[in-house]
A and B are shown apart, each in its own frame.
Chain A
Amino acid sequence: MDIRSIELVASPLQPYHAYLVFAGVAVFFIGLALFVRAMFVRDTHDFLVAVRKVGLGFAVSSVIASWTWAMAVMLSAAQGYNYGVSGIWWFTIPNGLAVIAVIPFGLYLRKNMPHGYTLSQYIYYRFNKNLALYWVFIVSMLFGCFIMILINLKGTSVVMSTVYGIDYRLVPILAGLVVMAYVAIGGMWNSTVTAAIQTFMITIPAAIVVIAVIDKVGGVDVVFNGLTTYKDPDYLKWYDPKTAFAFGITFALGLFSITISDQTFWQRIWAVKKKYVAASFLWGGAWFYGIPICIGILGLVGGALGLDYVNQLGGDAAAVGPYVVSHLGLPVWIVVLYTLAILSACLSTVDAAFMGTSGVVSVDIVKRLYPNITDKKLLAYSRLSVVVVGVAAIAVIFTGLDFVTIALASVTLKTAVLFPLIIACFWNRAPAGGIFWGVILSAVIGMFIFVTQGEFYGTVTIFVLSTCIPIIWGLIKPEPFNPASLREVKDLSA
């Protein structure tokens, strides 16, 4: 059977189905959040880092769910569609490793700064309360969380509008409101508990949907024959060098910067029970692999089907997954299952980003400016920051930027912070000035190169400058530091 003889049909779902899905998700997760708040949240310390008692199961699923962005679920299929097997390969392999790479930082932080909350707080105490550097990292953390929210709300918008025909502008509002509500209510405990649910809502539906898609098009033989018949032989190679240079290398570097220099993961480092820090990120990264490995197949099916990039995917390769699932004539429940998986992936990440924002705002801004603020007011600010950032993100979505462009631009910028942070953690002579100018100059010059010469050269420039400036500065004018001093940092509740 020829896969291209399959007749594609319109999605059977209507906008009102989307409203029902959102309503069901809202009732369930907000109800859960109210329970979690009653059981677990008394003060800001509970809200932000769950009393530092998140166990292994919740920690692992929290890592998986928060790392399973719209990127993992949709971009794996998108790159599979664009580049074939090598696209899935370059997307997937660095993704899991980027999570596991957090472990040395986790071990270092829980040993040396056991009562921390944010990455920027670490920088404040690491560099002798240098305010300029502190604010660079505060802005970087807030920017990183904001981009994460934007990308994932945008991703949800693509899926829901493709599958349900709902106005894409409504989706960020509905999804954003749901997450804002349950995060503001339940905090980190709620984040980890919903993550456990969302992990199962992502993985099992992903397996069922991909099997259903393969079955619907006639089986794995039909898919494979379609790929060998209609696509270039390089499409089936995992080692195509074109893919590496087109997006693989810069993407891989950017992924490491998202996990290592990102507040959402650092906050989890401090929320997990100390004994499980390493295991949480090791298993989180290892189990995560199953998701893009599975979902990426939808991109191969889209390639075999010969979907038109402009007319059928609307000029956005990220739509290939939703399009394939919703236009093959699959049973409605399969299509709904897929959207639940995507929704879970997106919401869990937005949830983590809201928590990261809340941490930075309350610990690094509000508490720093008003050290005598009552905990009740601080908790209120923690919750308010979620709402403010959520509303801002929804407003920005309406600009209609291309999904893949947003993702690649954000990872490139965060690379400017990555190597200075590594140097700060593991070189006790790193100078504050070197770190500061390394981040600033690499970001400014690197972005200029990115825009004028392309992302590969832009990313390499950022990497080189952000590494060399702090190291050369530190060799000339080192600033010795004793990590034991980080133990002076106290809990908010202390």
Chain B
Amino acid sequence: MVAFVTILGAIICLIGAYVAIKALSGSIQEVRLVWAKKDDEEDEIIGSALHSTMGAVIAGMLSAAIVGSYGLGPMFLYLGPISAIACAIGVIWNFTTELKEQKKSRELAIQK
């Protein structure tokens, strides 16, 4: 079990490093555009308090259920490490969203 989780963790870290480095590279380009005053996009604010509240409720309830399950039986204790790994995968997903957005911004800048 330890070996499996370690290998899985190493793979996740490698993927995370890859997307983070790509995102960093994209950020460098974006900052250069700002410095050159070629980025005058005023982003729209996305998201509302309502959507955020719904997200908070789902996240809170799911986490409460996971912790509460620890007292129900031994197998539920594995949900802890699974949650930590899910966190890392979630961050990778957020980075891929950022990479897509950076690609769009680059294409817009080229068109300009």
Contact = CB atoms under 8 A, between A and B. Distances in A.
Interface in B1-60: 1-2, 5-6, 9-10, 12-13, 16-17, 19-20, 23-24, 26-28, 30-31, 34-35, 42-49, 51-52, 55-56, 59-60
A221 B78 CA distance: 11
Contacts of B66: 293
Nearest to B88: A203
A353 B84 CA distance: 24
Contacts of B68: 85, 89, 238-239
Given A85-B70, A236-B71, A100 B59 contact: yes
Given A279-B46, A283-B90, A96 B67 contact: no
A203 B8 CA distance: 12
A476 interface: no
A89 B95 CA distance: 29
A196 B78 CA distance: 25
B67 A56 contact: no
Interface residues of B, number: 69
Interface string B84-97: 11111011101111
Given A53-B27, A60-B91, A89-B67, A204 B78 contact: no
Interface string A208-226: 1011101100011101110
Contact of A204 (B46, B74, B84): B84
A277 B45 contact: yes
A64 B2 CA distance: 25
A204 B88 contact: yes
A342 B90 CA distance: 20
User: Majority SS of interface residues in chain A?
Assistant: helix
B81 to A, nearest CB: 4
A275 to B, nearest CB: 4
A456 interface: no
Interface string A275-289: 111110111011111
Nearest to A57: B95
A100 B77 contact: no
Interface stretch (A20-28, A103-111, A465-473): A103-111
A123 B71 CA distance: 46
A102 to B, nearest CB: 10
A336 to B, nearest CB: 13
A147 interface: no
Contacts of B28: 39-40
A19 interface: no
Contacts of B19: 57
Contact of B77 (A104, A223, A274): A223
A84 B72 CA distance: 13
A200 B101 CA distance: 22
Contacts of B46: 275-276, 278-279
A51 B67 contact: no
B45 to A, nearest CB: 6
Contacts of B17: 200
Interface stretch (A5-13, A294-302, A370-378): A294-302
A287 B77 contact: no
A240 B62 CA distance: 19
B79 interface: yes
A427 to B, nearest CB: 16
Given A42-B35, A274-B44, A282-B56, A199 B2 contact: no
A212 B43 contact: no
18 contacts: A51-B31, A53-B30, A55-B30, A55-B101, A57-B92, A58-B23, A97-B59, A204-B10, A206-B81, A207-B9, A210-B81, A220-B78, A223-B77, A285-B59, A289-B63, A293-B66, A295-B84, A300-B70
